Structure 1
Amino acid sequence: MKNLKVIIYSPYCILRPTTNRIFDMRMSDALAGKGAEISLVYPYTYMKENIRKKDIASCYGLEHKFKTRLLPTVLFENSSKWMRFMQMMLAYSFHSMIMFFENIFSGKKYVFFSRDAKSLIPPLLFKKYLPFLCKWKVVFMAAEVKNNRTYRWVLNNSDGVFAGVTSTKEAIKKIAKVDESRFLLSLAPVPVYKNDVSKTEARNRIGIADSEKLVVYTGKLGLDVQEVLYILDAAALLKEYVFLFTGGRESVVRKVKTYCQERHISNVMFTGFMDDSTLIRNYQLAADVLVSYYTSRDHMVEFNYPQKINEYLSTGNPVITPNFPATQDVLNETNVFFVKEDSPQHLAQGIRKLMEDRILARMLAEQAKKDSEKLSFESRATEIIRFISQL
């Protein structure tokens, strides 16, 4: 696809590798691997823990070269909503204008992608009011559904919608005029991990003995995350197992440790935030049980499919999670162990079941790994290229 240029407008500063940023970077990497010219554009946000720009490729585990363009915004983590909106609109409008003149003379097919509806307003306005000169296509990556004016306008004017899951697609159809041919499902793809190691080697790398019964969670850490509180409650009920949590800034980890000390929860470990996102894989591979226990208090469970679930499936280790509408495209009783939501007691019972019934655990894990092979970024990139060519 040498005649294709994909411009991805990320609403996040990629100098801090977290879930949504990792997704945008890995999708860009996969599309670059298919021969498309990729330019990922992002706003600069000052954060104390920013990685260096020269370390982007290694920290995200990228395999292919593509361009990243930092916009000269003056944003901070605590910048107000309106300050962020105004600066990003100015920055993306200016960049869209540059792309407009470039596109006229390039002879390539330009396609804009973004998970942020507001970021797509500038390229959509160019397309709407200068249709004879502006031939590019716009694809909205819809991870959730918001029934507001801006969201509906972007949906109705985009050429395609990259919906997270089927429930998201069906909800979008109820609020916007988007026919079936304009949809493609994302389904939270994962990289093809070519350098995975054995569980024993993974444990050697992270300093965990083979004899430990290890439960691992690699999601967002914080006392404001109900999922984390539920898992800590389960840990209090399962003193014989070690519960390991990745991620979290130093201040957050300190607060969570204090919380555990006050409640006499001693069978927990915390890694803190890792700049190199590829290191998280060792913790997933080292697990006896992997936990994703997200809740309606933290997420829109009708639409939100946590990226970590498919990461978990690809390890060959058993996964425990609630059964929510957003996960039903992929998850079923043959590849994960479902437990009742919002119940630390049921979560603890499920973890114990997988620890003790190793035949069941192995059967679920083997099927999960097999199912995850169809959900790689590489296979999704092929579908995206085909989808774009038909727009």
Structure 2
Amino acid sequence: MRIAVISTSQVPSNTANSIQVLKVCQAYKQIGHEVLLIIPGNKKYEWEEIKSNYGVTEKFEIRWIKSVKKLHRYDFAIFSIIYARKWKADLIHTWTHQVALFLNWIKKTYLLELHELPTGNFGPKLFKAIIKSSNKKRFLPITQTLAKRYENEFQFKFSPGEIVISPDGVDIERYGNKQTPSEIRKKIGIKDNFSAVYTGHLYAGRGMNLMVELASLLPEIQFVWVGGRDNDVAYWRNIIIDRNLNNIMIVGFVKNELIPLYQMAGDILLMPYEKSITGSSGGNTVDFCSPMKMFEYLASGRPIISSDIPVFHEVLNSANAIFCDSEDSLCWRDAVLQIYNHPTIAKSLSVQAKLDAQGYSWINRCKNGLADF
């Protein structure tokens, strides 16, 4: 099948939404489909740069289309659909509601990702128009909680055949390294101490203050932060210097292809999300988010300590993670020490995490989205 994937994400970039788009494209390619990615932009980038930034190996066609910002992506939606039809796409996969609206008008089959509730003056009206159409479509909300929020907000029910809950995923094949955390730390040049690792952005809602406090409570543990924009990295490095903390290492941004190594270098993986989470596109997503790092952490086969966010329980449980209140630094301290002092507990959590990750591959996600459609 020929699948055109249409997104307004900036590519290349280090945003979570752009990473997900590329992973979806690769997964379709891996299961035998022809893939065309259509995104806004004025410049074409070489495949080697895309491959390195996103950790993808399956090459697929990418088309950048110029878009005028003041037209709110409606021009991009129209020209993307025209290009996809010229390419003879059998199916459209999109995150963009403007695209879905126009596809309904021309009776073209599509899959629509749902990652947050529509906002603004026109967002809700646009979605109401989408759900009223009888055109063949399928919705892919990232969590059960988000699907219910949509139903409550718009006073309707998804029919069974038009919805597949589609959490974010992970490239299972990238997590086959059998080396110990100690061996991997030596390989990538990290000081070989017992390490608690965090990967991801450093902006609001990610629990950076908690991790600073945790480092002060546990001077014997090395904390490794991987990721973040340059200005955020500089800000937190200054905080660490002011606090005179010597056990936090901020690596900063690394290319996606290296993320598995840094995660597997940890003896513990941390998910200290706060009760308000700012996504890469802005807005609070704490009630319905599906962080990619959650699935990457599972695939790493390392003990996970996570904030006790209700929606995380759609994936995590007491067998594959330890939960703590995001505002209780002493609970986090005790959880780290529990893993540090009890190797059997660490082993049990690690084994179950690795096992549970198998159900969340990007390939399985794409197969499920297409099943019986």
Please report the TM-score for the alignment, with normalisation by the length of structure 1: 0.84
Does the aligned pair in 2 maintain the 1:30–1:381 contact within 8 Å? yes
From 280, 293, 299, give the equivalent of 1:308. 293
Match of 2:109 in 1: 137
Match of 2:151 in 1: 173
Structure 1 CA distance for aligned equivalents of residues 350 and 186 of structure 2: 21
Residue by residue, what CA displacement relative to the aligned partner does 1:356-386 show, whole Å, maximum 9, x if unpaired?
2221111011111101111111222222232
Counterpart secondary structure, 1:332 = coil
Say whether residues 1:67 and 2:39 are aligned partners: no
Counterpart secondary structure, 2:272 = coil
Match of 1:38 in 2: 35
Counterpart secondary structure, 1:282 = helix
What code does the residue aligned with 1:265 have? L
Match of 1:221 in 2: 202
Match of 1:7 in 2: 4
What code does the residue aligned with 1:143 have? H
From 250, 260, 266, give the equivalent of 2:246. 266
Does the aligned pair in 2 maintain the 1:15–1:53 contact within 8 Å? no
Match of 2:182 in 1: 200
Say whether residues 1:56 and 2:61 are aligned partners: no
Match of 1:187 in 2: 167
Does the aligned pair in 2 maintain the 1:172–1:178 contact within 8 Å? no
Does the aligned pair in 2 maintain the 1:144–1:300 contact within 8 Å? yes
Residues 257 and 220 (structure 1), Cα distance of their counterparts in 2 relative to 1, 3 Å cut: same
The sequence identity of aligned pairs, in percent, is 22
Counterpart secondary structure, 2:129 = helix
Please report the TM-score for the alignment, with normalisation by the length of structure 2: 0.88
Does the aligned pair in 1 maintain the 2:93–2:111 contact within 8 Å? yes
Residues 51 and 339 (structure 1), Cα distance of their counterparts in 2 relative to 1, 3 Å cut: farther
Counterpart secondary structure, 1:328 = helix
Counterpart secondary structure, 2:66 = strand
Structure 1 CA distance for aligned equivalents of residues 337 and 126 of structure 2: 46
Question: 1:252-291 maps to which residues of 2 (within 5 A)?
Answer: 252-274=232-254, 276-291=255-270
Counterpart secondary structure, 2:249 = strand
Does the aligned pair in 1 maintain the 2:3–2:34 contact within 8 Å? yes
Structure 1 CA distance for aligned equivalents of residues 46 and 205 of structure 2: 29
Identify which range, 374-383 or 191-200, moves more after superposition. 191-200
Identify which range, 20-29 or 197-206, moves more after superposition. 197-206
Does the aligned pair in 2 maintain the 1:93–1:122 contact within 8 Å? yes
Counterpart secondary structure, 1:184 = coil
Gapped regions of structure 1 (runs ≥ 5): 75-82, 128-135
Identify which range, 113-122 or 8-17, moves more after superposition. 113-122
Residues 142 and 362 (structure 1), Cα distance of their counterparts in 2 relative to 1, 3 Å cut: same
Residues 181 and 36 (structure 1), Cα distance of their counterparts in 2 relative to 1, 3 Å cut: same
What code does the residue aligned with 2:249 have? M
Count matched residues.
357
From 272, 276, 295, give the equivalent of 1:297. 276
Residue by residue, what CA displacement relative to the aligned partner does 1:226-249 show, whole Å, maximum 9, x if unpaired?
522222222222121111111123
Structure 2 CA distance for aligned equivalents of residues 353 and 52 of structure 1: 47
Say whether residues 1:320 and 2:305 are aligned partners: yes
Match of 1:342 in 2: 327
Identify which range, 226-235 or 112-121, moves more after superposition. 112-121
Give how far 1:267 is off: 1.4
Give how far 1:272 is off: 1.6
What code does the residue aligned with 1:273 have? F
Counterpart secondary structure, 1:341 = coil
Give how far 1:197 is off: 4.4
Match of 2:100 in 1: 120
Give how far 1:156 is off: 4.3
Structure 1 CA distance for aligned equivalents of residues 42 and 84 of structure 2: 23
Residue by residue, what CA displacement relative to the aligned partner does 1:275-313 show, whole Å, maximum 9, x if unpaired?
x21111111001011001112222422210211011001
Residues 154 and 202 (structure 1), Cα distance of their counterparts in 2 relative to 1, 3 Å cut: farther
Gapped regions of structure 2 (runs ≥ 5): 278-283
RMSD value, Cα: 2.4
